Amino acid sequence: MDMTEAYTNAAFIPGGADYPARWQAEAAAFRAAHAPERIAFGPGPRNWAELYRPEGFVQGLLVFVHGGYWLAFDPQVFSHLAAGALAAGWAVALPAYTLAPQARIGAITQEVGQAIAALADRVAGPIRLAGHSAGGHLVARMVCANAPLPASVAARIAKVVPISPLSDLAPLMRTEMNARLGIDAAEAEAESPLNLPPRRGAKIHIWVGGAERPAFLDQAHWLAATWGCPVMVDADRHHFDVIEGLTRPSPLLSCVLG
């Protein structure tokens, strides 16, 4: 099997190349209407997060971690995904992180843990995590027993929803992008949620589009089977529109906040 093709998305989605520009436009419009706080959580140029606070009572904190194969994007491409939870009374944060090849995936995992800990200091109440693709990998890592989180923060995580997660990094070693990712056998073993036990009592629900590439459906089902958690296959959704439900009341938003 050609693993580069197996993990290619845009070429197999109608109008796939247009999605990033659409996301950026929707995100910019959302920020114009809802000015976020910018939270620094470390010394690096990408150690920052957008934080949106609702009016009135705050239900808790949702942290959304973006995808892009750990190689691309930042929170300002996805700001609009805060809309649904914000309207429901949740504070919503979107952290940036150092991209590969400037950082290995293990280091990115550490940064996301630092971001969540810093954000937890600023918003009281329960924490919910959601992430897409590479971000799905990163939020899954946050619910592993060895997650880089203070115990007090881990205890507040009420639910984790990895969306189209990359749960096993080993197949990516056989893709062209691994020239930039630099995944080796040791890192694939150490950083694949599939190889790690989840934290005891963690509430996890995996979400994946029914029209995704077979490799992503496999990745979702592998993790659900290994961790013994439910997986929702969202019919007719592909890798780029599977996250749209976060912008409005939807089954995906209910799963994340429920």
Interhelix angle 105-120/134-142, rounded to 10 degrees, is 60
The domain of 220 spans: 3-257
Q: What are phi and psi of 198, to 5 degrees?
A: -75, 160
The CA–CA distances, whole Å, from 133 to 18, 58, 161, 164 equal: 18, 28, 11, 5
Amino acid identity at 90:
W
pLDDT in tens, 226-250: 999 999 999 999 999 999 999 999 9
The distance of Cα 226 from the centroid of its chain, to the nearest Å, equals 19
Q: Helix (H, G, I), strand (E, B), or coil: what is residue 94?
A: strand
Q: What pTM does this model have?
A: 0.98
Q: What is the CATH number of the domain that holds 252?
A: 3.40.50.1820
Q: Are 208 and 198 in contact (CB under 8 A)?
A: no
In this model, does residue 1 exceed pLDDT 90? no
pLDDT in tens, 116-162: 999 999 999 999 999 999 999 999 999 999 999 999 999 999 999 99
The total of structural domains in the chain comes to 1
pLDDT in tens, 174-222: 999 999 999 999 999 999 999 999 999 999 999 999 999 999 999 999 9
pLDDT in tens, 58-107: 999 999 999 999 999 999 999 999 999 999 999 999 999 999 999 999 99
